[in-house]
Chain A
Amino acid sequence: MKFATELIHGGNPIDPEHGSLSHPIYLSSTFAQRSMDHFGRYDYARSGNPTREALEEAVAKLEGGSTGLAFASGMAAITSTFLIFAPGDHLVVCEDVYGGTFRVLSTLFKGWGLQVSFVDATDQGAIAAAIRPETKALYLETPSNPLIKIIDLAAAAALAKEKGLLTIVDNTFMTPYLQRPLELGCDIVLHSGTKFLNGHSDVICGFAVTGNPELGQRLRFIQNAFGAVLGPQDCWLVLRGLKTLKVRMEESQASAKTIVSWLKEQKGVAKVYYPGLPEHPGYETHLSQASGPGAVLSFELASYDITKRLLEGVKLAAFAVSLGGVESILSYPAKMSHAAMPAAEREARGIKETLVRLSVGLEDAEDLIADMDQILNR
């Protein structure tokens, strides 16, 4: 089955009892049992809920995995995954990792003795050099947030395999439509499903997917024991959002390309970060592992003054955190996604005070350009 068909029919078998095309929302916390010795498939909704399961199976299939798990937020998915490690374990993490991930690693998990090295993971040599005897996993984002750096996933996964490490990839920016890390040899894929997967800026959710049954069991154990699960109504909204993933992604990506071309010509714009640009250092690598550059781009403005004017003046793109919705969102990484990172760390990673990130939605590209044009060139 091709991707577009999989989105419509994959995770959503037609209800055999009533013929409903849309999956029912099971708002039940518990399930009555018929036998004392053999419990039914569902007993308590934290452990398993039919609506959540439909979503979990759909996302697992799209990523090419065998176990999919839905969580209350992207951070809940990420934290639950880190709970498979133990004190003394060491992780190699890409340096411009999402600020929220940086925060749990540098506060909560640091306090529990999980060790982390942040490296420029675009450099395979830097990853290899950071591996220690106690290293258990690589944790990667590509394209990274917000500097859109590209990591060679197949090479990283091969190195990890050779050293006996897991490779964990946050695939939020790409979605399985554009990039499927499990097929490149990675072990666990994570998502803030809040973004492109759900795509409507109306649900907070997260996912973990793996193709390894043993890892799947461990993650499922933690999902149930910790219990940071996604509620049934939110699950249903994400199932609904998934149906349009491909058409949304294609339209947003096409608009992103148009906007990038325009931004490059603007005097007020100092630099554009987008993996669809041939001059992007990761261009070749990205094309080899993903089928498109996606719909998130970052750019640096010529001055702080222009940055502020743009953020406060745009009318169509919402000045807000988050990304991946039908609405374009312009955000300011230094004060938003990476606010949890100390200023010095942020500067060292190149997240300047003139950097903005644009998540391109479904508005017409010409309207989005005109909106920015009235500020940059007035």
Chain B
Amino acid sequence: MNIATRAAHIGLERETRTGAVTVPIYQTATFRHPGLGQSTGYDYSRSGNPTRQALEEGIAALEGGCRGFAYASGMAAITSLMFLFRQGDHLIVTEDLYGGSYRLFEKIFQQFGLSFTYVDTSDLALVQQAIRPNTRALFVESLTNPLLKVADIEGLAALCKGNGLLCIVDNTFLTPYLLRPFDLGADITVYSGSKYLAGHNDTVCGLVAVKEPELAERVYFHQNGVGAVLGPQDSWLTIRGMKTLTIRMDRQQENALAIANWLTSHPEVSRVYYPGLAEHPGHDLMKERGKGFGAMIAFEVSEPHLVNRLLMKTRLISFAESLGGVESLITFPQVQTHADIEPETLERLGINHLLLRLSVGIEDKDDLIADLAQAFEEGEQA
């Protein structure tokens, strides 16, 4: 079945009593037992809730995994995966990763005896060199935030397999529609579902899909034990959002390519990062492995004062954190999403005082380009 069909059908055949085509919102904490030692399959909503389960089965189906899990946020999903590890374990991590993941690893898990090495995961040799005897996993962003470096998931997964490491892919920027990490050998995928999957900037949630049952059982143990689960109403909103994933993504990509091309020719833009541009170093790899290039663009302006001008003067494009929704958003990674990473590291990576990140929505591309064009011009703030 095609992914668009799977997405549109999430939760569809669950309600047999009434035939409702959308899954009911089971706003219940607990479930009555039919008898001693018997269960309807649901006991307590932290352990399992029918609405959340419809979403969890949905992400598993889109991803082609055996089981899915829904969490209170993307960070709660990543934290819950870190609970798979123990004191003394080492992980290799994408160097220009989301600042919230970096903060979690450095400020909380390092204290608990996990260690992390940050490498450019678009370079297989660098990843290989970072492997130590106590390395347990690779945590890689398939398309990095914010510099849009492309990881060779197939090569990385093979490297992981050869060295007994878990291959965990944060596939937030691409979604299973554009890249299917399990087909390329990954073990676990993780999403800030707040982004493209829910897609409407109205839900904070995290999703995980696991390929094999044994590992899924371990992930479930901590989901239930720690209880960082997603509530039923947010689960329902995420399902609703996922039904339009493919059509939203199609439009967002089309808009992104047009904007990236326009930015490339703008005299006050010194650099554009978008993997859909032929000159992007990851372009060919993405073309071969995935179904598209996503809708995130990073670009450097030529002068520092232009950063403020763009953030303040765009009218259709809101200056706000987050990404992936139907509304276009612009952010300044150095002080917003990546503020928790050391300044020297940011500078070395290229997350500098000139870099802006654009999440392209589904507005008309001509309107978005016109909005950017007027924002570049001198004059009164809109």
**Is A345 among interface residues, defined by CB-CB distance under 8 A?**
no
B200-228: CB near A (< 8 Å → 1, else 0) gives 01111110000000000000011001111
Chain A residue nearest to B43 (CB atoms) is: A321
| Closest CB in chain B relative to A190 CB, distance in Å | 12
Q: A203-B27, A225-B104 in contact; A44/B75 too (CB < 8 A)?
A: no
Complex interface residues of chain A between 73 and 120 (CB less than 8 A to chain B): 73-76, 79, 83, 86-87, 100, 103-104, 107-108, 111-113
Assess whether B31 is interfacial by the CB under 8 Å rule: yes
Q: Considering the chains assembled together, what is the distance between the CA atoms of A206 and B86 in angstroms?
A: 26
* Interface size grouping (class) on chain B: 35 or more
A201 touching B79, Cβ below 8 Å: no
Partner of A226, one of B36, B108, B113, B311: B108
Contact B227 A228 (CB under 8 A): yes
Instruction: Compute how far the CA of A103 lies from the CA of B227 in the bound complex, rounded to whole angstroms.
Output: 12
Min CB gap A280→B, angstroms: 27
Taking the closest CB of chain B, its distance from the CB of A86, in whole angstroms, is: 5
- Per-residue interface assignment for chain A, residues 27 to 55, with 1 indicating a CB less than 8 Å from any chain B CB and 0 otherwise: 11111111110000001111001000000
CB distance from A180 to the nearest CB of B (A): 24
Interface stretch, picked from A10-18, A229-237, A257-265, is A229-237
Could you tell me the distance between the alpha carbons of A32 and B95 in the complex, rounded to whole angstroms?
Answer: 28
Chain A residue numbers with a CB within 8 Å of B83 are 108
Shortest C-beta distance, B228 to chain A (Å), equals 3
Chain A residue nearest to B307 in the complex (CB):
A36
User: In whole angstroms, what is the CA distance A194 to B47 when docked?
Assistant: 14
**Are A103 and B107 in contact, with the CB atoms below 8 A?**
no
Contact indicator A206/B33 (Cβ below 8 Å): no
Count of chain A to chain B residue pairs whose CB atoms are closer than 8 Å in the complex:
208
Q: Is A75 in contact with B226, judged by CB distance below 8 angstroms?
A: yes
In the complex formed, the residue of B with least CB distance to A198 is B29
The answer to whether A28 and B202 touch (CB under 8 A), given A33-B320, A229-B72, A325-B29, is: yes
State the majority secondary structure of interface residues on A.
loop
Would you list which residues of chain A between 190 and 236 have a CB under 8 Å from chain B? Answer: 194, 198, 201-204, 206, 221-222, 224-231, 233-234
Q: Out of A43, A87, A222, name the residue touching B87 (CB < 8 Å).
A: A87
B162 within 8 A of A: no
Contact A335 B37 (CB under 8 A): yes
B27 in contact with A43 (CB, 8 Å): no
Q: Across the interface, do B225 and A108 meet the contact criterion of CB distance under 8 Å?
A: yes
- CA of A202 to CA of B231 in the docked complex: distance in angstroms? 10
A183: interface (CB < 8 Å): no
Complex contact A103–B231 (CB within 8 A): no
Q: Are B108 and A83 in contact (CB under 8 A)?
A: yes
Of the stretches A128-136, A312-320, A360-368, the one at the interface is A312-320
A46: contacting residue among B108, B202, B204, CB under 8 A? B204
The answer to whether A76 touches B27 (Cβ under 8 A) is no
Evaluate contact between A332 and B36: CB separation under 8 angstroms. Answer: yes
Cα separation A352 to B237 with both chains bound (whole Å): 43
A308 to B87: give the CA distance in the assembly, Å.
Answer: 44
User: Beyond A73-B229, A100-B225: 11 further Cβ-contacts under 8 Å?
Assistant: A32-B320, A43-B320, A75-B46, A108-B222, A112-B86, A225-B107, A227-B73, A228-B76, A229-B204, A320-B33, A321-B30
